[in-house]
RNA sequence: GCCAGGGUGGGGUAGUUGGUUAUCCUAGGGGACUGUGGAUCCCUCGACCCGGGUUCAAAUCUCGGCCCUGGCCCCA
């Protein structure tokens, strides 16, 4: 028997129903903020991703060569594609550009809870708004979107300027190492690294910065910073917006193209893979041959949100089963069509079974059953049976449709 | 890439000091029931992850692989 590839999942109808619900909720929030959905290719030129993230990621990508000898990769993320698309198709679109996407990505990693080799991201990119209000909007939208799914999370906001300032005299290689320690809250490792370069003041400042929960204090720790006004504006806007967040000035988000604001969200009951959102302000376009335009965006780990939400109680829509005898078969098709035209989910019997067996089967999924036999064909009425009460009556078709329609969703 | 625990019909399981036809529940199909359901009864379908080794004999012991779950590493 053929197994599905490692790290992939099959989704049965119940799974898809809740996934589509949550996806729809996120899309609706994006729509209300004016973000329009876009779509990019499932695979791209390998260089697109290595230019953004370095050669190190080759190990963790699905890479292949096509028949023309092109080196391609299944996308491990969407942001690079979005920016490429902006450069290719939308450079002259009036700014700001508000885009969102829902798409699957592929990474060759060891699967574990909340981590799969094929996974979905819902993301948002705001392009061409290098303002405090733009940054704030993206954070507010992120919060609105997570909130609307019902997931329990905490939002952490940081800014790279503080750490960059403290580390400006440290050589880049050590910088990365230090940022790595801070991102992981690995203070022992941090201490060792700092001791090796012989700067204990720096250690104390960094620890103070990471633990800092007050913006004023962060400025005191880091000293004069040119971006001070912009940062204060952004944070003030967030405070006014009423969203709940905490500071974490230790967020490094790994890479160099982030320029300032960064933020992350974490959910409960997810084990070690508990980050459900990550984002920030960045400049990428110039890497791909475009103008040096500012962007801000985030991506939600959709599958992790689903895992965190767990079993969602679904609203079940009303279902009608249409059963019939041989004599009633043609009339049954007409009746089923009328129910469907009224917007009711209607499942017609298509098995070669007796009435009893047909009803027996319908009762597993349906709320009502409509019986069409010789008698109904002759009278033009239908027999409508409520499978919850067991009561049935013979009525004309409009009345039957009206009753089922009035039953509503449960 | 590393570590731990796992893998028996579609789902859930029993069996593992090697030994007859591999247990039970559930789900599926058919019937008792040719116009009335979930009950009951009967019939039926269907499994030892893969490969090598030990042995008269392997679901059981052993080795390797694959996959699952969780943790580490990584996390764009």
Q: Domain extents for chain A? A: 13-309, 319-407
Q: A147, A145, A140, A161: which is closest to A296 by C-alpha? A: A140
CA of A2 to C1' of B56 (A): 35
CA of A12 to C1' of B24 (A): 27
- Which nucleotide has its C1' atom closest to residue A354's CA? B34
Helix (H, G, I), strand (E, B) or coil at A246: strand
Q: In which region does residue A268 sit, left (phi positive, over 0), alpha (psi from -120 to 50) or beta (all else)? A: beta
This model of the complex carries an ipTM of: 0.85
CA of A248 to C1' of B6 (A): 39
- Which nucleotide has its C1' atom closest to residue A75's CA? B76
Residue A366 near residue A353 (C-beta atoms within 8 A): no
pLDDT at A313 over 70: no
CA of A110 to C1' of B73 (A): 10
- What pLDDT score does A410 carry? 63
Q: A354, A348, A356: which is closest to A319 by C-alpha? A: A348
- Domain A13-309 carries which CATH code? 3.30.930.10
Residue A362 near residue A338 (C-beta atoms within 8 A): no
What's domain A319-407's superfamily in CATH?
Anticodon-binding domain (3.40.50.800)
Strands ordered across the beta sheet of A345-348 = A345-348, A319-324, A368-372, A382-386, A392-395
Measuring alpha carbon to C1', the residue closest to nucleotide B50 is A1
- What pLDDT score does A1 carry? 67
Q: Which nucleotides of B are covered by protein (CB under 7 A)?
A: 1-3, 28-38, 66-76
- Which nucleotide has its C1' atom closest to residue A377's CA? B35
Residue A238 near residue A134 (C-beta atoms within 8 A): no
Measuring alpha carbon to C1', the residue closest to nucleotide B76 is A53
CA of A391 to C1' of B21 (A): 49
- What pLDDT score does A97 carry? 98
pLDDT at A92 over 90: yes
Q: In which region does residue A128 sit, left (phi positive, over 0), alpha (psi from -120 to 50) or beta (all else)? A: left
Residue A219 near residue A228 (C-beta atoms within 8 A): yes
- What pLDDT score does A26 carry? 98
Residues 6+ apart with CB under 8 A from A329: A372
Give the pLDDT band (50/70/90) at residue A254.
low
CA of A112 to C1' of B5 (A): 14
What element of type H or E holds A119? strand A118-127
- What pLDDT score does A139 carry? 98
- What mean pLDDT is predicted for residues A50-71? 90
- Which nucleotide has its C1' atom closest to residue A4's CA? B67
- What pLDDT score does A187 carry? 82
- What pLDDT score does A326 carry? 87
Which token pair is A223?
């000293």
Kindly report the average pLDDT of chain A as a whole number.
Answer: 91
């Amino acid at each position: 028997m053929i197994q599905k590839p490692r790290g992939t999942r099959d989704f049965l109808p119940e799974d898809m129903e809740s996934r589509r619900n949550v996806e729809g909720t996120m899309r609706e929030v994006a729509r209300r903020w004016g973000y329009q959905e876009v779509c990019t290719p499932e695979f791209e030129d390998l260089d697109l991703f290595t230019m953004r993230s370095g050669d190190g990621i080759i190990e963790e990508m699905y890479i292949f060569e096509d028949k023309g000898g092109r080196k391609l990769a299944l996308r491990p993320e969407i942001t690079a594609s979005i920016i490429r698309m902006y450069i290719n198709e939308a450079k002259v679109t009036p700014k700001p550009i508000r885009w969102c996407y829902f798409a699957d990505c592929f990474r060759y990693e060891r699967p574990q809870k909340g981590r799969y080799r094929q996974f979905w991201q819902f993301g948002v990119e705001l392009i061409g708004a290098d303002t405090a209000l733009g940054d704030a909007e993206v954070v507010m939208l992120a919060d609105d979107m997570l909130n609307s799914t019902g997931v329990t999370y905490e939002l952490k906001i940081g800014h790279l300027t503080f750490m960059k300032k403290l580390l400006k005299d440290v050589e880049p290689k050590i910088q990365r190492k230090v940022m790595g320690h801070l991102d992981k809250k690995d203070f022992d490792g941090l201490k060792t690294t700092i001791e090796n370069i012989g700067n204990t003041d720096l250690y104390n400042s960094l620890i103070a910065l990471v633990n800092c929960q007050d913006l004023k204090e962060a400025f005191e720790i880091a000293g004069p910073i040119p971006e001070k006004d912009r940062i204060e504006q952004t944070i003030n806007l967030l405070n006014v917006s009423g969203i709940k967040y905490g500071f974490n000035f230790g967020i490094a988000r790994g890479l160099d193209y982030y320029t300032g604001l960064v933020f992350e969200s974490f959910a409960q009951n997810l084990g070690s893979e508990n980050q459900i959102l990550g984002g920030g302000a960045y400049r990428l376009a110039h890497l791909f041959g475009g103008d040096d335009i500012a962007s801000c965006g985030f991506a939600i780990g959709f599958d992790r949100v689903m895992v965190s939400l767990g079993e969602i109680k679904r609203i079940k829509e009303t279902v009608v089963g249409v059963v019939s005898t041989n004599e009633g078969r043609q009339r049954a098709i007409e009746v089923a069509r009328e129910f469907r035209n009224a917007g009711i989910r209607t499942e017609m019997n298509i098995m070669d079974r007796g009435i009893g067996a047909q009803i027996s089967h319908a009762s597993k999924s349906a709320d009502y059953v409509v019986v069409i036999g010789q008698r109904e064909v002759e009278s033009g009425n239908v027999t409508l049976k409520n499978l919850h009460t067991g009561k049935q009556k013979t009525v004309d078709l409009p009345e039957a449709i009206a009753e089922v329609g009035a039953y509503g969703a449960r």
